[in-house]
Amino acid sequence: NLADTKTKAQGLFTFGGTATNLYAIKIGTKKASINSGREGMPKNVKVIVTKDSHFSHTVSADWLGIGTDNVITVEPNLDRTSNLKDAEKKIRKVFEEGNLLSTIIINGGTTYNHTIDDIKSFIELRDKVVKDFSLPYKPHIHVDSVIGWIWLMFKDYDFVKNDLKLDRETLFSIKKQYRKISYLKYADSWGVDFHNGAGACPVPCSLIMFNKMKDLNLLSKKEGSSVNI
């Protein structure tokens, strides 16, 4: 409800923010190589992350057998948001070289400067590349929003009435962050840490939300489990 998703969404509780990224990459890998659970990880699978990404992004690539050498980093703009032109160049290069792209993980207000990327533009970029290369699948887009999700709490806040009497500068900053994070509904998945932001929760208390419940079919033990593009 906070994310205002229009699709049938579902989440999984897990052991921490690291695991939310682990799930996202696993789902992306199954999209790129549906038989990878049976045949093993293809050697040409790539993962794209941001410059200021949490260390768990590369850790997840290690744990899943993709390898940290196959993690590609997108350069940032001056405000530390990810540079879309650099992202497009690197995404296209993956496919031009005949590789598979599992997952694109972008900033959603993580531990580094609360930076939130232009989520909707990344979705549009991904869809454009899929069309240009006539791909049979869509690389999974995950927003690492384990801290930034908390701004969703301002979904119904009246910024004009401002009942909390927030000062002008604070109000502007919160409104800006909420506007950016409100685009989570366009991503494939996003992470939540209840111990970050909300407080008073056990450390291993996280959630990964899938905006399309059918993506969870890719975690099924049934061989050949798939999801439509």
pLDDT of residue 203: 61
pLDDT of residue 219: 84
The answer to whether 81 and 112 are in contact (CB under 8 A) is no
User: For residue 54, what are the CA distances in angstroms to 10, 78, 86, 109, 218?
Assistant: 24, 19, 19, 11, 25
C-alpha–C-alpha distance, residues 88 and 90, integer Å: 5
Angle value at C-alpha 128, between 123 and 132, nearest 5 degrees: 150
How many Å is the maximal CA-CA distance in the chain?
58
- pLDDT < 50 regions, the chain: 229
pLDDT of residue 216: 84
pLDDT of residue 176: 95
pLDDT of residue 226: 54
C-alpha–C-alpha distance, residues 177 and 48, integer Å: 23
pLDDT of residue 197: 63
Provide the β-strand partners of residue 141.
104
Beta-carbon contacts of residue 51 (< 8 Å; ≥ 6 apart) = 73, 74, 75, 76, 80, 82
The structure's pTM equals: 0.92
Provide the β-strand partners of residue 103.
47, 140
